[in-house]
Amino acid sequence: MTEGAPRNGRTGIDAASLAVGFSTALRRAGLPGSPDRAAWLARALRIVPPTARDALYWTSRVVLVSSRDQLPVFDAVFSAAFDGTSDPADSRGDANSPPAIGAEERIRAAPADQRPATTAGEDGELRAPATSAARGSSDLPPEPGRDAILAMASAEEHLHGKSFAELTPDEAAHIRRLVRRIVLSTPERRSRRTRQWAHGGATLDIRRTIRAARRTGADAACLVYARRRPRPRRLVFLCDVSGSMEPYTQVFLSLLQGAVAGARAEAFVFSTRLTRLTRQLSNRNPDHALALGAAAAPDWAGGTRLAESLRHFIDGHGRRGLARGAVIVVLSDGWATDEPDQVDAQMARLRRLAYRIVWVNPRKAGTDFQPLAGGMAAALPYCDAFISGHSYAALAEAAAAIRADRTESDRADTARTHSAGKQGKRNAA
């Protein structure tokens, strides 16, 4: 692939070698490619002769890219291969348009020792991020009294009540296996598809009735009723993987992974930025899935930008349908570097989209816990359930909260709290 290559693209052989060479370069840069893509490109170059840089750019981009996320890599490789100097952004549209997911600059994954795939429980010490170190004194490992009682039960049951932050590596591995098997299910909603139903609350299905009637010579001998088929609501996890959550992320990721595989949940992790992990975590081999997930999110154990991450989630995914009518589970301690006001605003937006919001905060188990962390206090009025989830037993509680239906009085109550909370905040400000 030299600079002269585009000009020579007219003959079949050159188009083919150009196509193969370029797609190989892209594959090396990490873009998924297949031999048929290269073949398509060779054919495409024959009908759109690459006489100019632009023609070659668009032709190869249309054929070789299969998702917007791949554009930055493609642009970089194209630029390196064919012009070496030009800025690929020149040939793409509006510089003012807000960057979409994946369009941001790529950051390399954190080195292995920062990923939660390593054992975080070894030192048994809570590592708080710099920003929250000052108020971090209240978060001692929870409930010694309860642990003492549980210690009398079998070793396994003892583990159930033990905080994830205190597990030894062996125990952690064991708990992660258990957590992966937690069965999560969401409340149902009615889908558009119908299913045959016994009478009673169901509506008459004329089409099915007539189809059945054809057998009996066109007399509708029996009426067929149908009802809209119930389907489970979508389940979305937003998991905080910042430094303050480090003792818990390992186990929570196992929970996410089980949910993605078992309940078709969507999984996102965030600390300074938001990463969608659904695809990585859906790998069949759990260890492999976790490794993929760890590699995909670049900012393990960083700071927390709660409001920013929520905003990215809502703008990039939630509003487009992911969050609508869904059960949203946020796993976070609510320690955030952004202003509580922003958290408040984003939670209000999320609330308008979601069916229920369940907040899992492992710090809640602490005896003297008060939801005073700025972000947490701001988010709390918008949550339908607030759960600790610091141990296996506590996660069972989270599963129950995920399963729960929304009651209308719930909503009315919280709606009042919101306006009151907002009012209060405005007055205070």
The contact set with another protein (CB under 8 A) reads 34, 36, 40, 43-44, 47-48, 54-55, 58-59, 61-63, 65-68, 71, 91-94, 96-98, 100, 191-193, 206-207, 210-211, 213-214, 217-218, 278-279, 314-315, 317, 319-322, 345, 349
CB of 32 to another protein, least distance (A): 8
Collapsing DSSP to helix, strand or coil, 232 comes out as strand
Kindly write down the DSSP assignment for every residue of 100-140, as one continuous string.
-TTTSPP-PPPPGGGSTTS-SSTT------GGGTTTGGG-P
**Exposure b/e, 171-191, CB count within 10 A at least 16 = b:** bbebbbebbbebebebeeeee
199 or 207, CB closer to another protein? 207
Q: How far is the CB of 93 from another protein (least distance, A)?
A: 3
Q: Are 121 and 168 spatial neighbours (Cβ–Cβ below 8 Å)?
A: yes
Which CB, 48 or 76, lies closer to another protein? 48
Q: Give the residue from 358, 310, 361 showing the smallest Cα distance to 335.
A: 361
Question: Which is nearer to another protein, 119 or 283 (by Cβ)?
Answer: 283
Least Å distance, CB 153 to another protein, is 43
Nearer to another protein, 140 or 348 (CB): 348
C-beta of 61: minimal distance to another protein in Å?
A: 7
**CA separation for the pair 73, 84 (Å, rounded):** 14
- For Cα atoms 391, 394, 399, give the angle at the middle one, nearest 5 degrees: 125
To the nearest whole angstrom, how small is the minimum distance from the Cβ of residue 375 to another protein? Answer: 19
Minimum gap (Å) between residue 271 Cβ and another protein: 20
C-beta closer to another protein: residue 143 or 205: 205
CB closer to another protein out of 154 and 423: 423
Nearer to another protein, 66 or 168 (CB): 66
The answer to whether the CB of 326 falls within 8 A of the CB of 235 is yes
What are phi and psi for residue 251, nearest 5 degrees? -70, -40
**Among 244, 273, 238, 237, CA closest to 335:** 244
Q: How far is the CB of 187 from another protein (least distance, A)?
A: 17
State in angstroms the smallest separation of the CB of 209 from another protein. Answer: 9
206: number of Cβ within 10 Å:
12
236 beta partners: 266, 328
The nearer residue to another protein, 132 or 346, going by C-beta atoms, is 346
Helix (H, G, I), strand (E, B) or coil at 228: strand
Termini Cα distance of the chain: 62
Structure token digits, residue 188:
């149902």
Q: Cβ(194)–Cβ(205) under 8 Å?
A: yes
Q: Hey, what long-range contacts does 192-198 have (CB within 8 A, 24 or more apart)? A: 192/228, 193/228, 193/229, 194/226, 194/227, 194/228, 194/229, 195/226, 195/227, 195/228, 195/229, 196/224, 196/225, 196/226, 197/225, 197/226, 197/227, 198/225
CB 342 to another protein: min, Å: 11
Q: Which is nearer to another protein, 97 or 409 (CB)?
A: 97
Q: How far is the CB of 39 from another protein (least distance, A)?
A: 9
C-alpha pair distances (Å), 395 with each of 250, 254, 268: 14, 12, 18
**How many residues are given for the chain?**
429
Output 315 or 410, the one with its CB closest to another protein: 315
